[in-house]
């Protein structure tokens, strides 16, 4: 990894978040803070403003890996595996297995990694179980955390890359892309005109270019919660379990 960009898509009341980002950038010369270009009109729905930050993803011959701020676990081999998968593929973007992502969960259920008895998820990004059911998400997180604690996360891998159906919407909590895409398909480079960069990355451009997206089957990250799951998940000890797992990996 050459650079870690912190995209400062923050609200005025996120004082502690901004302070933490300031501290990281001050302590590490490979961490930079990026702000929305002043010339861009921002949306009142903050999640739609991420599209303007891709103007920071135009360094030639570079792979960029986006992580949303609610990715709570990254397998130790996930980043390298995801990048290698992207470089060896013609997919427009490549996703890891995103834990607590409905489409990823459908593939995991097909392979027997996630019990169907919990509820059968369909391959739709806003599936009512895989995207919106809080108790189901709690079971998913506890299953992964049990494997994290046992050192057996690789048992949850798909062991093959998956080409997704052309134009299938996919929740873009994490993905790898190439800088050349933002040069070749954006004017100016990196400027995504589409209101929603999720639709641009997973539906519009793959369909226009006839280049389906893909999942790297041996790269796994975990996404904390979608908003319909949030009230339930925040009443559990899930985040404490992730925190405890992280502390075991931190240097003394």
What is the per-residue pLDDT across 85-135, written as a single tens digit (0 to 9) for each?
A: 999 999 999 999 999 999 999 999 999 999 999 999 999 999 999 999 999
For the chain, what are the domain ranges? 60-249
Half-sphere exposure (Cβ direction) of 5: Cα atoms closer than 13 Å? 20
Between 175 and 248, the more confident residue is 175
Q: Is 21 helix (H, G, I), strand (E, B) or coil?
A: helix
In this prediction the pTM is 0.95
Beta strands in the chain (DSSP E): 4-7, 31-34, 63-67, 71-74, 94-99, 162-163, 174-178, 214-223
């Amino acid at each position: 990894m050459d650079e870690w960009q912190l995209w400062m898509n923050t609200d005025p009341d996120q004082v502690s978040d901004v302070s933490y980002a300031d501290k990281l950038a001050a302590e590490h010369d490979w961490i930079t803070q990026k702000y929305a270009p002043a010339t861009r009109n921002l949306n009142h729905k903050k999640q739609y403003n991420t599209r303007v930050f891709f103007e920071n993803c135009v360094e030639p011959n570079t792979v960029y890996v986006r992580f949303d701020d609610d990715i709570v676990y990254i397998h130790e081999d996930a980043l390298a595996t995801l990048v290698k998968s992207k470089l060896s593929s013609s997919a427009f973007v490549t996703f890891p297995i995103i834990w607590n992502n409905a489409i990823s969960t459908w593939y995991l259920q097909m392979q027997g990694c996630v019990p169907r008895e919990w509820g059968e998820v369909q391959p739709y990004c806003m599936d009512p179980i895989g995207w919106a059911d809080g108790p189901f998400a709690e079971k998913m997180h506890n299953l992964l955390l049990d494997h994290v604690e046992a050192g057996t996360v690789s048992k949850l891998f798909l062991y093959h890359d998956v080409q997704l159906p052309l134009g299938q919407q996919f929740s873009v909590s994490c993905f790898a892309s190439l800088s050349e895409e933002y040069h070749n398909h954006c004017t100016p480079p990196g400027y995504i005109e589409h209101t929603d960069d999720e639709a641009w990355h997973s539906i519009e451009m793959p369909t226009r270019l006839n280049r389906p997206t893909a999942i790297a089957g041996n790269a796994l990250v975990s996404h904390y919660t979608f908003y319909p799951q949030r009230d339930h998940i925040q009443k559990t000890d899930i985040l404490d379990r992730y925190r405890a797992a992280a502390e075991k990996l931190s240097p003394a």
